[in-house]
Amino acid sequence: MELYVPILVLAVLAAGFAVFSVTIAPFTGPKRWNRAKLDAYECGIDPTPQPVGGGRFPLKYMITAMLFIVFDIEIIFLYPWAVAFDQLGVFGLVEMVLFIVTVLVAYAYVWRRKGLDWD
């Protein structure tokens, strides 16, 4: 049973933090109204009015999201390698370098094609 005490403590701490943050926010946060706060959340496109013929819409968020996925996958592969780094030896190192170089190619492409510029 003692094994579960840390988990219980963690759960209590997490719940406490959540409740504390939510209840304290209305009292401490500034209340300055602006138009952006009433917009649809973060999708980058004004839902209304619809532009004529569908219009062009910016892909900024999508490119950021795609970049995130690329690097996210890279991290996912880096974790297990980092854990077993010494056992994997030279073979693991070479494979990992190859993998990271390949991801870097995608990164270089995005960078050169101005995917990292916001405007």
Partner 1 sequence: MNNTFQAPTIEYGQLAPLLLVFGAAVVGVLIEAFAPRYLRKSFQVPLTFVSLLGAFALILVQVFVSGVPTAPAAMGAVAVDGPSLFIWGVILILAAVSVLLITDDDHFVPQAAAVPGSAEEDDALAEGAAHTEVYPLVLFAVGGMLLFAASNDLLMMFVALEVMSLPLYLLCGLARRRRLLSQEASVKYFLLGAFSSGFFLYGMALIYGFAGTVDLAGISRALGTVSGQDPLLLIGTALLGVGLLFKIGAAPFQAWKPDVYQGAPTPITALMASGTLVAAFGALLRVFWVALGNLDWDWRPVMWGVAILTMVLGAILAITQTDIKRMLAYSSIAHAGFLLVGVIATGDARQNADALSGILFYLLVYGITTVGAFAVVTVVRDAGGEAGHLSRWAGLGKRAPALAGVFAFFLLAFAGIPLTSGFFGKYAVFAAAATGGALPLVIVGVVSSAVAAFFYVRVIVLMFFSEPAADGPTIAVPSMGTAAVVTVAAAATVVLGVFPEPVLRLADQAASTLFIR
- Provide the binding-site residues for partner 1, judged by CB under 8 A: 53-56, 59, 84, 87-89, 91-92, 102, 105-106, 108-109, 111-113
**Minimum gap (Å) between residue 108 Cβ and partner 1:** 5
**Minimum gap (Å) between residue 75 Cβ and partner 1:** 19
Closer Cβ to partner 1, 19 or 104, answer by number: 104
Closer Cβ to partner 1, 43 or 83, answer by number: 83
Q: What is the 3-state secondary structure (H, E, C) of the chain?
A: CHHHHHHHHHHHHHHHHHHHHHHHHHHHCCCCCCHHHHCCCCCCCCCCCCCHHHCCCCCHHHHHHHHHHHHHHHHHHHHHHHHCHHHHHHHHHHHHHHHHHHHHHHHHHHHHCCCCCCC
Closer Cβ to partner 1, 16 or 80, answer by number: 80
- Are the C-beta atoms of residues 33 and 85 closer than 8 Å to each other? no
Closer Cβ to partner 1, 12 or 94, answer by number: 94
**Minimum gap (Å) between residue 12 Cβ and partner 1:** 32
- Are the C-beta atoms of residues 68 and 110 closer than 8 Å to each other? no
**Minimum gap (Å) between residue 96 Cβ and partner 1:** 13
